[in-house]
Amino acid sequence: MTVDYPDEFFIAVKLCSTFVGLGLPSRNPNEILRIVYALYKSCLFLLAIIFMICELITFREAFGDTQMLVSQIGMMFTHVVGLLKLSILILKRKQIELIQRKLQNREFYYKTLGNFQPGSKMRRERYLSIFISSFIFVLYSFVGISAHISTYLIVRKNAVDDQFIANVTCESLLPYYYYYPFDMSTVTGCYYSLTYMDICLDIFAWYIATSDMLFVGSLHLLKTQLDILGEAIINIRRRCLDALGMRTSFEIFKDEWHPDLENTMYNELTHCTKHLMTLLDVRNDVEEIFTFVTLAQTIASLLIFASCLYVAARVPMTSPNFFSQLEYFCAVLIQFSIYCWFGNQITRASESITSALYSANWFGSSRRFKKSMVLTMTRMQRPLYLSIGKFTPLALSTLLGVVRGSFSYFTVFQSVGDVEQLE
């Protein structure tokens, strides 16, 4: 009997997908709900596209101004990657659902036995996954919000009635440079511009957060399943003895002397091997769907780190732009760190399979059991990892490389900016 296993591991991802317009809120919605939901997701997508057009206009106007251009490069890459992630969620929906079904296949749910409690472990990891998913969604939605709130306060401080005082303009107070389809000469128009910016940035944040939640959640569950499989292999003899109704402390010199035990042991190892092959297939599926997304995210993170450092170094520390760049830098650093952390965890969890096979009580097992065990150990000698665009593993070392590379680009941007000032 498999106890304590959760019914749905990706519950947070499904809720967020519904919120951002990527899934109906119920399986059998009525016609009115379908129409309202279709309008809702169309509005989100339309606002995102309009905002991208405004960014392209600003990007074109930014040539000749290094600070504005560098700032636009970082933000624009984020939103291009966001649209890429959105397209993956839409176009690869069936493959994603297949991955989720493989990772939650009840055929590979194990019975609790003593300290081996896979169901309880899955529940704990699901709570952790919900927490991480919620953190990602809230973090991405909050990026820049505090800077925008401070901008509202600064606008109010530098305005009388509906007009700005002295030589202050709305453009000088905004935390980001964009083309705004509003009259910004008045305080009311400036408020409209800020609200428009916040809504559009949040829409992109929701799209990106949903994709990242799905990717990180898949890696988290894959790592959890590898850990459970390792524990199942270590406890294979105890579980087989329990299945036969024998004492778990039962000892025998050769399993062949007890044909039922030998057959059960071999069948259970075959089942574990099948489970392992399914997890390897999941890794291949995740790699196929997300490898170029991770490549785009890596390149974007590299440029974003450099652009945030450059812009923050060029503006006053009391300006909204400084705080927005600082928040943006920290958010992208956390985002890419989560990617690399779970990519690294997959490699570590896969490496434990070989030691789990060796740690199993196999000394008295049959020849065919040992042969199957050695073949599995040989297969797992090749490290299991997700790659970034088929080039390099997604690991913590990649994070360090990207951070070091961003400082190199920052130095280049600084040199170009200094040359422009001298001219």
Residue 58 has pLDDT above 50, yes or no: yes
* Residue, of 41 and 314, whose pLDDT is higher: 41
Tell me the mean pLDDT in the region 377-406. 85
Of 226-235, 285-294, 414-423, the poorest mean pLDDT is in 414-423
pLDDT confidence band for 1 (50 / 70 / 90): very low
Report the candidate in 258, 269, 303 with the shortest Cα–Cα distance to residue 410: 303
pLDDT tens profile 2-11 = 557 888 888 8
114 Rama class: left (phi>0) / alpha (psi -120 to 50) / beta? left
Partners of 393 in beta bridges: 387
Per-domain boundaries in the chain? 11-140+202-422
The residues with which 159 forms a beta bridge, in sequence order, are 164
What whole-number percentage of the chain has pLDDT above 70? 86
Summarised one tens digit per residue, pLDDT across range 161-198 is 767 776 777 766 666 666 666 677 777 777 777 777 77
168-172, 299-303, 310-314: range with highest mean pLDDT: 299-303
Angle at 340 between CA 338 and CA 346, to 5 degrees: 105
